[in-house]
Amino acid sequence: MGPTPLAEVCLPRFLLLPGLDGTGELLREFADVLASLGPVEILRYPADRPRDYDALCSELAAQAHIDRDSVVLAESFAGPLGIALAARATVPPRALVLSASFAVSPLPWLRRLAPLTHWLPVHGVPRRLSDALLLGRWATPRWSAKLDAALRQVPAPVLRARLRAALCVDWRHELRALACPVLYLQATADRVIPPYAARCIVAQRADLVRVRIEGPHFLLQAAPQAAVEAIAHFLASLPGQ
């Protein structure tokens, strides 16, 4: 049997869901690397008013085209959004990829303090602190400046609402009900999402594939090539590929 004709090869079409900032600016360099596997689209979250996960998911579902060739890739804050979009799609996507993310509050012991986020200073956080949490030893002045610029595009009440949503979410049921394969990329030096969150996701699905990659919470920014290689290997292992 000869090779499959090029015209019959269906490349994956990637739909990227950004983290807390929701601007997509921090994913552009990763998207350029990922484009070696197929077309890439980065969604941008509406930021005109505060929204919880349900409201965000409803608005994103109206603009996101998901079909059997789609691969939904959600980083950090976007994990529950990726799970919900994949679960509610008319046609299940080819796969869901979660990067340094969660399905249930990654810090459940802080859930009772969620109302206090109304007064949390989300702008003007010292760069030394944000660098240590998000990038660790992979921090550079360029990425520090890009993070600060992305967050400043989003009004403080909107960021606070997203933080509250992350602290209170529990969409494990939706994750268990997914009709598509799931890949979890776990950053080995993540200082934001604790190992508990990864264990919680793995416990929901016996078929889930977890790949540990050396890097910080900003895994896709610090180790884009390693992440793309893990995604490529995962997709190639799926039935029918």
Rg (CA), the chain: 17
By the 10 Å C-beta count (0-12 exposed, 13-18 middle, 19+ buried), 195 is classed as exposed
- Alpha-carbon gap, residue 118 to 116, rounded angstroms: 5
Query: How do the domains of the chain map onto residue ranges?
Result: 11-237
- Long-range residue pairs from 48-54, CB within 8 A, at least 24 positions apart, any chain: 49/157, 49/158, 50/157, 50/158, 50/160, 50/161, 51/158, 51/161, 51/162, 52/161, 52/164, 52/165, 53/80, 53/81, 53/84, 53/165, 53/169, 53/171
Of the candidates 39, 189, 166, 190, the one whose C-alpha atom is nearest the C-alpha of residue 113 is 166
Inform me whether the pLDDT recorded for 115 exceeds 80: no
pTM summary value: 0.91
Between residues 151 and 241, which one has the greater pLDDT? 151
Domain 11-237 - what CATH class?
alpha beta
* Predicted local confidence at residue 7, as pLDDT: 40
What average pLDDT does this structure show over 151-174?
A: 92
- Alpha-carbon gap, residue 45 to 98, rounded angstroms: 18
* Predicted local confidence at residue 107, as pLDDT: 73
Confidence of residue 114 (pLDDT cuts 50, 70, 90): low
* Predicted local confidence at residue 10, as pLDDT: 73
Chain length of the chain: 241
Confidence of residue 129 (pLDDT cuts 50, 70, 90): confident
The beta-strand segments (E) located in 159-241 are: 182-187, 209-213
Inform me whether the pLDDT recorded for 25 exceeds 50: yes
Q: Are 99 and 215 in contact (CB under 8 A)?
A: no
Q: Are 129 and 87 in contact (CB under 8 A)?
A: no
- Alpha-carbon gap, residue 210 to 186, rounded angstroms: 7
How many other CB atoms are there within 10 angstroms of residue 8's CB atom? 7
Q: Find the helix packing angle between 79-88 and 53-63, rounded to 10°.
A: 50
What is the β-pairing status of strands 13-17 and 70-75?
parallel
> What are 39's two structure tokens?
């077309």
Q: Find the helix packing angle between 127-134 and 141-152, rounded to 10°.
A: 100
How many other CB atoms are there within 10 angstroms of residue 146's CB atom? 17
Convert the pLDDT of each residue in 187-240 to its tens digit: 999 999 999 899 999 999 999 999 999 999 999 999 999 999 999 999 999 987
Average pLDDT, the chain: 90
